[in-house]
Amino acid sequence: MKLKIVSGKKKQFFFYAYHLSLWHYSAYKEISDSLRKKMGILLKQEELALREIRKILKKYSFDNSAPASVYYRHDEKSIEQNLFNSLETSDAKIFIESMKILNSKFEILWKTDSRRSSEIVTYLKQVLKDEKVISLISDIEIIFSPFKKLQVVALVYPEEFKHIGGSANTGLGICTIELSDSNRAQEGILVALHELTHSLLREYGYSFEVRKPLRNSLKRKVPFSKEMTKSETLEELFLRFFLPDGYLAKKHLNQITLDSALEAAPQSFHNEILNVVDEKKTISQELIRIFKKNST
């Protein structure tokens, strides 16, 4: 599997707009507040531009034709044309014009973020050359499914925001990794690979039924957003048994800390997952069977 790390000014500008618009629970208010503080007071037309961006993001959500998919999937030079190819013409015009109105404010942020962006991409590429990481990626292909190519879009959080984020909502074969510090590049790659496993599950049409006993036993401990659906929560739980801080991280990088969601699950569940991983079985039905059995 080939992983390609990319970044870009327009991609980062969209990332600013994504959080400033607060259109979705994955658009963080603390990031929006930080960006606003650094940009200074927005003019009335700039606030109106953000409202238009919010409307369009909510309209298309995470559809394959959504602005996020266009910005992150395509090269910088072709983004505007692909917005016209993907959105309704009126929406594309409004979105492009709104981004232009905000451009001068985004340039203020980019003056410092451009250097950090370059550093982060350099470190991420170095991590991918690590033999342990190469071996981990090989295991992902064995356990889940071979994957020819993955594009990882590197995006920059404000320096004071220490969370590492990522998303696979922009379609198969692409994910984002969001961080503020190049020294955490290895963790960033683990998050990106975790997002890849979401793509692999969705490609083959797997989904999890909500089993009430498991949900009840975890609801006080699962650290995921309350706005996630129950099915999304179970999928996230399942995949965290592998990465970024689950068994594959432990096996290859000796990272043994499991988050509270994993610790809440029965030990028998842990053991069965480990047996399947050790035997190099594919995910096809066996891992799903184990998960559902332990969810009842």
For residue 153, the SS3 value is strand
d(CA 64, CA 170): 6
For residue 205, the SS3 value is coil
For 173-232, what is each residue's pLDDT tens digit? 888 999 998 988 998 999 988 888 887 777 666 655 544 545 554 544 455 556 677 667
Pairing of strands 174-179, 149-156: parallel
- Closest by Cα among 83, 203, 113, 78 to 150: 203
For 42-71, what is each residue's pLDDT tens digit? 999 999 999 999 999 999 988 777 999 999
pLDDT at 14: 98
264 neighbors 222 (Cβ within 8 angstroms): yes
The first and second tokens of residue 147, run together, are 């994957």
Q: Is 72's pLDDT higher than 90?
A: yes
Mean pLDDT of the chain: 82
pLDDT at 23: 94
Domain residue limits, the chain:
2-197, 208-294
Q: Is 40's pLDDT higher than 90?
A: yes
pLDDT at 276: 58
For residue 73, the SS3 value is helix
**Which DSSP helix (H) or strand (E) runs through 176?**
strand 174-179
- % of residues, the chain, pLDDT over 70: 74
HSE-CB at 188 with a 13 A cutoff on CA atoms is: 28
Give the CA-trace dihedral at 236, 238, 242, 244, to 10 degrees: 20
- Using alpha carbons, list the distances in angstroms from residue 199 to 60, 192, 270: 19, 11, 23
Q: Is 105's pLDDT higher than 60?
A: yes
**Mean pLDDT throughout 9-29?**
95
- % of residues, the chain, pLDDT over 90: 48
User: Residue 16: what residue type?
Assistant: Y
The first and second tokens of residue 88, run together, are 């309704």
pLDDT at 69: 92
Taking the CA atoms of 46, 170, 128 and 262 in sequence, report the sign of the dihedral they define: positive
**Mean pLDDT throughout 145-170?**
86
Least confident of 39-48, 124-133, 263-272: 263-272
Q: Which residues pair with 152 in a beta bridge?
A: 5, 175
| Highest-scoring range by mean pLDDT, 168-177, 204-213, 259-268 | 168-177
The first and second tokens of residue 142, run together, are 């064995």
Give the CA-trace dihedral at 150, 156, 161, 166, to 10 degrees: -20
For 85-97, what is each residue's pLDDT tens digit? 999 999 999 999 9
d(CA 269, CA 260): 15
pLDDT at 260: 47
15 or 228, greater pLDDT: 15
Question: What is the pLDDT confidence band of residue 257, given thresholds at 50, 70 and 90?
Answer: low
